[in-house]
Amino acid sequence: MTAPFTARLKGTTRDALWSGPVVDCDVHATPPSLEALFPYTDPVWVQGAQERGWKGPIGEAHAYPPGAPTTARDEWRPEGRPPASSIELLRQHVLDPWRVDAALVNTAYGVDSLRHPDWAPALARAVNDWLIAEWLDRDPRLVGSMVVPARDPAAAAAEIERIGSHPRIVQVTMPVRSERLYGQRVFWPIYEAMTRHDLVMGLSWGGTTEDAPSPTGYASWYAEEYAAEIQLYGAQMTSMIYEGIFQKFPGMRVTMLESGFAWVPTWSWSINKKWKGLRREIPWVDRLPTEIIRDHFRFSIAPADLGPAAHARKIIEWLGSEDLLLFATDYPHLHTDDLAAVLEVMPESMRPKVMAESARQWYRLDKALS
C-alpha cells in the first residue's frame, strides 16, 4: 500500500523523483514539554523546575519561533502539541512516504541557552536519554545526534564519554551561534572525546541568544536575523580550519546542517587566498583549505538556495567534489526547496551519493544499524 504523500512530494511521487535508497541526515525531534523529560531527569532538577515554574530553555524558540512559517510546514503542525514531537508524526510525515532507509534525528532543544553550570549538563543528559528511549529504541531506521552543554567543554566532553559509545549515537550537535569560535583550543576536549568515539560534529542552526546574531551586531527583524545567520557557518568553518583542529584531530568530521552550500565555493576560494598570503602565521595548516573542506566537511541540502538552474549547475561544479552534499528534509522546518530541481542540476553519478551513499559512509551507518 502506498503511504500518503506529504507536501514535500506534492505533484510527484517518491519513485518518480528517486527510486534508490534514501538516508535523511536531518530530521528533528522536539520534546513535547519539559515534563516529558522528567522521567529522564535527576529529581533535584525536576523539583527545581517545578518550584521555579520553569518551562524549559528559550534557545529553540528564539531560533525557530513557534508561529514563524520557517518553523514548520503547515501540514506538519499537529493540533495541541509542537511539530516533530512524536515518532508517530515522523513516521507519518517522512519515514513512510519517503521509504527512508535511515534517518538521523537531531534534538536542538536549546540546552546551550541555559547558563546554569549544573542544570545545563543535567538537561543535556535528560534530552539524550529521552532521545534514545523514545525514538532510537522504537524504530530500527533511526540513528541519533546527542546534545551537549556547549558553553562548558569539560561537561560536554563528560556527556560524550557517558553515551558516545551507544551504537545508535553517530553525531554531536553544536549550535552555530556561540560565545567563542569553535576552532579555539578551549573546545578541544570536546573534539578529543568526539573523535575517540568516532562521532561526527553536527553544526546546526541556532545557539546562544544573548549575543549578537551577526558578526556586526543585532538585526532589527527576525527575517533579517534569519538571513544573516548564514555568515556564522563560514566564520566557524574558517576558525576550525585556521586553528588547526584537523591536524590535531585527523579523524574529525563536521556536517553543516541547515547552512546551505551555495556559499561554500566562493568562501573556500577566499580562505585559500588568505592562507597563501598569511600562512606563516598558521604554519600547522598544511594544505589548501579547500582540500581540508573536502576531507572533513559535509553539507546538508536543506536549504539549497541555488537560484536559476544554470547558476545552480555552476555551483555544483564549483564544489569540486560529488561527495560533499547529504540529503535532508530538515523536518519539520520549511525551506520551500524543490528537490526535483536540486537533483536535476546534479550529474547523474552524484545523485546516489547525495541521496544515501555519502551519508551511509560518513556516519558509519552499516555499523550503527547492524
**Which pLDDT tens digit goes with each residue over 273-314?**
999 999 999 999 999 999 999 999 999 998 888 889 999 999
Averaged over 187-199, what is the pLDDT?
98
Q: What is the pLDDT of residue 9?
A: 62
Residues 133, 40 contacting (CB under 8 angstroms)? yes
Q: Rounded to whole angstroms, how far apart are CA atoms 201 and 171?
A: 6
Q: Rounded to whole angstroms, how far apart are CA atoms 42 and 125?
A: 9
Task: Give residues with Cβ within 8 angstroms of 80, minimum separation 6.
Answer: none
Q: Which strand (E) or helix (H) includes residue 106? A: strand 102-106
**Which pLDDT tens digit goes with each residue over 260-273?**
999 999 999 999 99
The DSSP result for 136-196, as a single string, is GGG-TTEEEEEE--TT-HHHHHHHHHHHTT-TTEEEEEEEEE-SS-TTSGGGHHHHHHHHH
Q: Rounded to whole angstroms, how far apart are CA atoms 270 and 290?
A: 10
| Mean per-residue pLDDT over the chain, rounded | 91
**Residue 6: band (very low, low, confident or very high) from pLDDT cuts 50, 70, 90:** very low
Q: Which set of grid coordinates corresponds to residue 213?
A: 546574531
Q: Measuring CA to CA, which residue among 294, 291, 203, 184 is closest to residue 248?
A: 184
- Judged by DSSP in three states, 337 sits in coil
Q: In this model, does residue 11 exceed pLDDT 70? A: no
